[in-house]
Each structure stands twice: as structure tokens, then as C-alpha cells.
């Protein structure tokens, strides 16, 4: 299966191929088949209508700047599949996220190593006993997330908002300044509306996956998301995904992941959006092990 085949796929074919397709993306001869069987158990309970709805979701993802909610059965598959890919998870600071969501608009800023990061965060929250917190997280996703069928399926398991990437990054599509600004403003509006409605907006503020593994500078434009009354910013550190899906790899290797969430920073109490973002960068660095901190 690939993106070009989506329009031709029938619901029954999707149900037949999906377990093997997802198993094939695990670089482990033992874990892959086991995870495939876990997916098969879920798919065997579907009706043709469920498969058809998932196909429609996959065919249209990323076409517009809007919130794409997770497909319920795709999320169910992801969490079951991830229990084999991530046999070891560690979570700290879930209480900070829970408290922030009770207090007002919430944004999370996290380091970025892999296309697997948002999936891993959802799985760590799920395995850590907080699936309801995972349900409330929305990931801002760059355009490349939707350009590959495996990554697009992973996005269908999550809540995502497409965002344009800075044209200063050499590996991104070049947009006119006007079009880049239009898309960026649309994404900010969607994300802020979601935060007002009680969702936690996950932002990879480096703007791209780290090429060295160390935390890079945050893009100043991220501060625009925080221009919201009552906004809070939680620093978070994700450790382990660089080994699971390294830069340039299309497959995953089973391993362990750690998620550390810091205490929320109230934007109004820390000098405004720009100063709060700078402070959060320091806090994210402190949550990371020394070898992943800025050099």
C-alpha cells in the first residue's frame, strides 16, 4: 500500500492488508508479527463501513489547515501496536498537564527527534495510565507528516493540525511569504481555538527534527501561539525516539521511551509570549539528559 493506491483501495482490501502493512514497519522479526496479530484482532471486529470511514480519513488528511480528529479505530490500533514497539515507557509530570488543562489554555513545547514523537507521547500517556490526557493532546504537524502512507496513518491515530514549515529550512517546500503567512495564521487560529476548548496543543518549537540529537533553538514565531488570555506553556522532554525511528529511517525499532513534563509557565507571569518561550527552552534543556542538551 502507498498513497497512490488509496483512491483505489476497497474497504475489504484495507482490512486484509493493514495488519501486515503495519507489521512490516517494525524492524524486528519477532515483534513485527506479534504486533501484526494485535492489529488483526482489532480489524477483525470492523464492519465494512468502519474501514470505508478510515479510508476517507486517510484520503483527505492534510489537505486543509484545520483540526483533524483521530479516527477512533486508528487510535485503538496505534495504542495496541505501540505496546509492542514501546515495551518500556517512563512518564513523569502527568499531574502538571492535568492541572494546566483544568486552569486554562494549554500549550506543550517539546524537543523533536523523530516522525514517531507524537505517536510515542500518546503511547507513553496511555501506558502510563493517562489515556484521557492523550485524548486531549493535539499535535501541530509539518507537511511531510502527511506525504507518506505510514506517517499519514500514524496521524490518523492522533489529533493533528497541519502547519507550514519555515522556508528557511532547506528541506521544506518553498512558499511565497504571503502564502506562508496565510497558512501560519490559519494554523494559529485553529490551535488557539482548540486550546480555548480545553485541548493541549503540542508544538515542536525547533521547527524540524534535530539533526544532532541536541536541543536546537526555538523558532521565535512560535510565540504567536501564546498570545491568548490565560495561556500556559508546559516544557516537555522526550527521550528515546531518536533510536526508535532515527532521522532518515522509514521503519521503527522497538525500544524504550521516557516523557518528562515540567510545571506550567503562565505566560502573563513571565514577561509575555517571547520571554516565556525563551524560558521554556531552558526548562526543556534541563529535563533532557546532558548529551541531548544544547552544546
Can you tell me the distance from the alpha carbon of 249 to that of 116, in angstroms, rounded to the nearest whole number? 11
Q: What pLDDT is attached to residue 177?
A: 85
Q: What is the pTM of this model?
A: 0.94
Residue numbers of the chain with a pLDDT score lower than 50: 167, 169-172
Dihedral sign (CA 19, 21, 22, 28): positive
Please give the angle made by the CA atoms of 196, 185 and 201, to the nearest 5 degrees: 35
Question: Cell match 497541519: residue?
Answer: 162
Can you tell me the distance from the alpha carbon of 67 to that of 61, in angstroms, rounded to the nearest whole number? 10
133 burial class (0-12, 13-18, 19+ CB within 10 angstroms)? Answer: buried
**DSSP secondary structure string, 156-219?**
HTSEEEE-PPPTTSTTS----HHHHHHHHHHHHHHHHHHHHTTPEEEE-TTSS--SSSS--PPP
Q: How far is CA 237 from the centre of its chain?
A: 13
Q: List the domain boundaries for the chain.
A: 65-292
Domain 65-292 in CATH 3.40.1130.10? The answer is yes
**Residues near 30 by beta carbon (within 8 Å), at least 6 away in sequence:** none
DSSP H helices, the chain, are: 11-23, 31-43, 48-60, 72-85, 94-103, 117-127, 131-135, 149-156, 177-196, 241-244, 273-287
Amino acid at each position: 500500500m502507498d498513497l497512490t493506491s488509496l483512491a483505489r483501495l476497497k474497504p475489504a482490501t484495507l482490512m486484509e492488508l493493514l495488519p501486515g502493512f503495519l507489521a512490516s514497519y517494525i524492524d524486528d522479526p519477532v515483534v513485527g508479527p506479534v504486533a501484526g496479530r494485535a492489529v488483526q484482532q482489532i480489524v477483525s471486529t470492523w464492519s465494512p463501513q468502519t474501514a470505508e470511514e478510515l479510508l476517507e480519513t486517510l484520503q483527505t488528511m492534510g489537505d486543509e489547515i484545520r483540526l483533524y480528529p483521530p479516527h477512533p479505530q486508528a487510535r485503538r490500533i496505534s495504542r495496541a501496536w505501540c505496546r509492542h514497539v514501546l515495551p518500556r515507557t517512563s512518564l513523569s509530570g502527568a499531574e502538571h498537564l492535568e492541572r494546566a488543562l483544568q486552569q486554562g489554555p494549554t500549550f506543550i513545547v517539546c524537543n523533536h527527534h523523530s516522525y514517531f514523537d507524537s505517536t510515542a507521547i500518546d503511547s507513553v500517556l496511555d501506558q502510563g495510565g493517562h489515556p484521557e490526557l492523550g485524548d486531549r493532546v493535539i499535535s501541530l504537524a509539518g507537511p511531510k507528516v502527511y506525504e507518506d502512507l505510514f506517517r499519514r496513518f500514524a496521524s490518523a491515530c492522533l489529533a493533528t493540525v497541519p502547519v507550514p514549515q519555515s522556508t528557511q529550512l532547506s528541506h521544506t517546500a518553498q512558499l511565497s511569504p504571503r502564502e506562508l503567512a496565510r497558512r501560519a495564521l490559519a494554523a494559529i487560529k485553529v490551535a488557539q481555538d482548540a486550546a480555548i476548548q480545553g485541548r493541549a496543543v503540542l508544538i515542536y518549537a525547533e521547527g524540524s527534527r534535530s539533526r544532532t540529537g541536541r536541543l536546537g533553538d526555538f523558532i521565535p514565531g512560535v510565540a504567536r501561539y501564546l498570545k491568548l488570555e490565560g495561556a500556559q506553556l508546559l516544557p516537555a522532554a522526550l527521550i528515546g525516539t531518536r533510536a526508535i525511528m532515527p532521522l532518515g529511517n522509514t521503519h521503527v525499532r522497538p525500544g524504550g521511551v521516557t516523557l518528562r513534563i515540567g510545571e506550567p509557565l503562565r505566560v502573563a507571569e513571565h514577561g509575555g509570549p517571547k520571554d516565556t518561550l525563551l524560558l521554556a527552552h531552558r526548562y526543556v534543556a534541563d529535563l533532557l539528559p546532558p548529551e541531548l542538551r544544547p552544546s
